[in-house]
């Protein structure tokens, strides 16, 4: 049994909007092991992003708890880092200066931080690009910088919110393979939100399927496929079985979410 890195108990979140409460998440009891790769899938609006924001303490739960290594998470800290879609870089800073932002904010020794950043830039495949600016990089390269930045910040948990959504299909596949390599080499714990089921299956040890709002855990699927994984794995029958199974699990949820959205749009149109 692997040690628990992150745990949630009875985790719930409601937002106030126009005087009404919107319940985004309800009663999540989850244990994430140290070094585990876990993906979260579910219909649009089921609370995936809210879940990640609760995990790193950006927002406070309405009910329940989040613990990291057994201690309550109450505010963002250096040991949990977000990796967003590609536009998270400062355009006026070169790659190296974008990568060292974490230690800079923590007022760490900057010579050491630059050395750490260089080694992580090397790890993500960007050796020689330290002095380049974001506008000189492709979408995939920007995402590599985002990953190097999270690693340089010293995080041992990475929260990735649809990080590859803005990339073209081929670059996205390459980045999936790269991420499995980086994860293997660093041993980080990763929570990864995606709409693409094959991406979740390819990357993960476990896929969590959320219900429509309020998001609850509908099903968790352990992905028992061998590692290290190559992209050719996507053509294996067992891979397709996992994708089919997860799609069936969320299909009902997606249909329900579309119905709710349509109802809400019609209600606004009738006002
Ligand atoms: N700050 C907020 N104020 C009010 N409502 C919010 C707020 N943040 C999220 N919500 C609502 O909570 C629900 C869950 O949102 P969230 O962004 O977590 O979903 P998601 O699963 O990440 O969606 P998507 O897949 O479309 O990115 C949605 O109905 C959303 O409108």
- In a shared domain, residues 220 and 123: no
Given 3-state DSSP classes, what are the helix, strand and coil percentages for the chain, each rounded to the nearest 5?
Answer: 45, 25, 30
Of all atoms in ligand 1, which is nearest to the CA of residue 13? Answer: 12
Q: How far does the centroid of ligand 1 lie from the alpha carbon of residue 24, in Å?
A: 7
Query: What is the predicted pLDDT for the residue at 252?
Result: 81
Looking at residue 215, the DSSP 8-state letter turns out to be B
Number of domains in the chain: 2
Polymer length of the chain: 271
Could you say which of 154, 183, 199 is where a domain stops? 154
**125-169, pLDDT tens digit by residue?**
999 999 999 999 998 999 999 999 999 998 999 999 999 998 899
Q: Which domain holds residue 131?
A: 91-154
The model's confidence at residue 86, banded by pLDDT at 50, 70 and 90, is: low
Please compute the mean of the pLDDT values over residues 194-223 and round it to a whole number: 96
Q: How far does the centroid of ligand 1 lie from the alpha carbon of residue 131, in Å?
A: 37
Of all atoms in ligand 1, which is nearest to the CA of residue 42? Answer: 21
- In a shared domain, residues 54 and 177: yes
- In a shared domain, residues 177 and 259: yes
Could you say which of 99, 133, 154 is where a domain stops? 154
- In a shared domain, residues 161 and 149: no
User: The pTM is what?
Assistant: 0.92
Please compute the mean of the pLDDT values over residues 76-103 and round it to a whole number: 89
Q: Residue 6 pLDDT more than 80?
A: yes
Specify the residue for token string 């303490």: 57
Which positions ≥6 away from 251 have C-beta within 8 Å?
none
Of all atoms in ligand 1, which is nearest to the CA of residue 50? Answer: 18
**Is the Cβ atom of 213 under 6 angstroms away from ligand 1?**
yes
DSSP-assigned letters across all residues of 100-166: THHHHHTT--HHHHHHHHHHHHHHTT-TT-TT--GGGS-HHHHHHHHHHHHHHTT-SEEEEESTTTT
Q: Residue 1 pLDDT more than 70?
A: no
Looking at residue 185, the DSSP 8-state letter turns out to be H
H-helix or E-strand spanning residue 207: strand 206-210
Could you say which of 107, 123, 154 is where a domain stops? 154
The model's confidence at residue 74, banded by pLDDT at 50, 70 and 90, is: confident
Q: Could you give the strand order of the β-sheet that contains 63-68, starting from the edge strand earlier in sequence?
A: 20-33, 4-17, 63-68, 71-72
Q: How far does the centroid of ligand 1 lie from the alpha carbon of residue 50, in Å?
A: 6
Higher pLDDT, 246 or 259: 246
- In a shared domain, residues 69 and 166: yes
Quick check: is 85 in a domain? no
Please compute the mean of the pLDDT values over residues 44-70 and round it to a whole number: 94
The per-residue pLDDT of the chain, averaged, comes to 92
3-state secondary structure of 25: strand
- In a shared domain, residues 59 and 192: yes
- In a shared domain, residues 50 and 8: yes
Q: How far does the centroid of ligand 1 lie from the alpha carbon of residue 44, in Å?
A: 8
Q: Which of 252, 228, 218 is nearest to 177 (CA)?
A: 228
- In a shared domain, residues 60 and 124: no
């Amino acid at each position: 049994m692997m040690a628990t890195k992150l745990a949630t108990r009875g985790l719930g979140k409601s937002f106030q909007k126009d005087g009404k409460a919107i319940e985004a998440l309800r009663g999540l009891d989850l244990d994430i092991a140290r070094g585990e790769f876990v993906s979260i899938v579910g219909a649009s609006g089921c609370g995936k992003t809210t879940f990640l924001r609760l995990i790193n303490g950006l927002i406070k739960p309405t009910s329940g708890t989040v613990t990291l290594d057994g201690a309550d998470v109450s505010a963002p800290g250096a040991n949990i880092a977000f990796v967003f879609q590609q536009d998270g870089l400062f355009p006026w800073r070169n790659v190296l200066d974008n990568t060292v932002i974490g230690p800079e904010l923590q007022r760490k020794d900057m010579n050491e931080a630059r050395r750490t950043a260089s080694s992580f830039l090397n790890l993500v495949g960007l050796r020689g690009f330290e002095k380049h600016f974001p506008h000189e990089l492709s979408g995939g390269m920007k995402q590599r910088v985002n990953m190097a930045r999270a690693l340089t910040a010293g995080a041992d948990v990475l929260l990735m919110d649809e990080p590859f959504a803005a990339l073209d299909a081929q670059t996205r596949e390459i980045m999936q393979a790269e991420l499995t390599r980086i994860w293997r080499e660093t041993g980080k714990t990763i929570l990864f939100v995606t709409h693409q089921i094959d991406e979740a299956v390819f990357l993960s040890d476990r896929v969590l399927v959320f219900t429509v709002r309020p998001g609850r855990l509908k099903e968790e699927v352990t992905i028992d496929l061998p590692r290290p994984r190559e992209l050719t794995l996507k053509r294996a029958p067992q891979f397709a079985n996992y994708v089919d199974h997860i799609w069936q699990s969320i299909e009902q949820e997606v249909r329900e979410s579309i119905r709710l959205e349509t109802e809400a749009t019609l209600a606004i149109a009738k006002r």
